[in-house]
Amino acid sequence: MLDDHDDIHPLFHGAPSTTEFKKLRKRIVRNVREAVEQYGMIERGAKWLVCMSGGKDSYTLLAILYELQWRGLLPVELLACNLDQGQPGFPATVLPEFLEKMKIPHRIEYKDTYSIVTEKVPAGRTYCALCSRLRRANLYRVAREEGCSAVVLGHHRDDILETFFMNLFHGGRLATMPPKLVNEEGDLFLYRPLAHVAEADCEKFATSMNYPIIPCDLCGSQDGLQRQQVKQILDGWEKNSPGRRQVMFKALTNIRPSHMLDPKLHDFLGLMTAQNPAALAADEKNMNNSTEIPKLR
């Protein structure tokens, strides 16, 4: 990788020259490129709204997208966007100053969803669900106003795994965050290019680059969050069996509907053994001619 200031984006100025960091950067680039290509995210000439929270994940997302663009592997226009939701104490100047310094085209949108969330959510309940819905609605609105075809989020591999187990433990369903989907209105894509990237890699990358990280005080200050509990479980599994997170993530890409229990995904009623065709035809004829309900034995 060329690290001369004339050849790279300002986002990478001051990047560590260590072999460890170069390997990390190369791994993240490879992971993001795989996700972008595997899930068909590229629309030539499109414009993406890249959502910036100020956390380690969104900084990593922005930097890697610009590197792919610089390499000619991402022929889309990028517009960074931060939605200031009015949380008390939110450092509103950090992201605008950073984006200006890095010469990143951006839009800062202020919308006080914090007051709505604290008013609507009962005491003792978590804010995450309502906060996320309000944030997503405003980001879709901004994307339309800016002529973007996609909203791009910084959810990584571990977010996807945690969501899967939250749905499993608390929602009674097998589901998680898809790397690509179309919104309910059908006019915008939602992409997660970090789908194959480990959270630990995002943290190492953003920390090594000294990006000005903004913590999520709104959600992170609440105790007993289901996501935090799931995260602790996964951390324990990973500690006892290194690499288990990646194995579980691979399982999400290798699903066998015939070996699950959902009749909407697999035709269990239509399953038949390899019987004699003549016998099958006779059985079907007898069933069609019979008006009696067979007795259970």
Binding residues for [4Fe-4S] cluster: 128, 131, 219
Instruction: Note whether 24 and 208 are within 8 A (CB).
Output: yes
Q: Can you say which residues are annotated as belonging to the binding site? A: 128, 131, 219
* Of 214, 196, 252, nearest in space to 91 by CA: 214
Is the torsion defined by CA of 48, 53, 59, 60 positive or negative? Answer: negative
Residues in a beta bridge with 84 = 110
Could you give the 3-state DSSP secondary structure of residue 55? Answer: coil
Is the torsion defined by CA of 20, 26, 29, 33 positive or negative? Answer: negative
Surface-to-core class of residue 48, CB atoms within 10 Å of its CB (0-12 exposed, 13-18 middle, 19+ buried): buried
**Burial readout 145-171 (b: 16 or more C-beta within 10 A, e: otherwise):** eeebbbbbbbbbbbbbbbbbbbeeeee
Pairwise CA distance, residues 52 & 65, whole Å: 13
Task: Compute the radius of gyration of the chain from its Cα atoms.
Answer: 24
Q: Which long-range contacts (CB under 8 A, 24 or more apart) does 212-217 make?
A: 212/54, 212/94, 212/98, 213/54, 213/55, 213/56, 213/59, 214/53, 214/54, 214/55, 214/90, 214/91, 214/94, 214/95, 215/55, 216/53, 216/55, 217/87, 217/89, 217/90
DSSP one-letter code for 12: G
DSSP one-letter code for 259: G
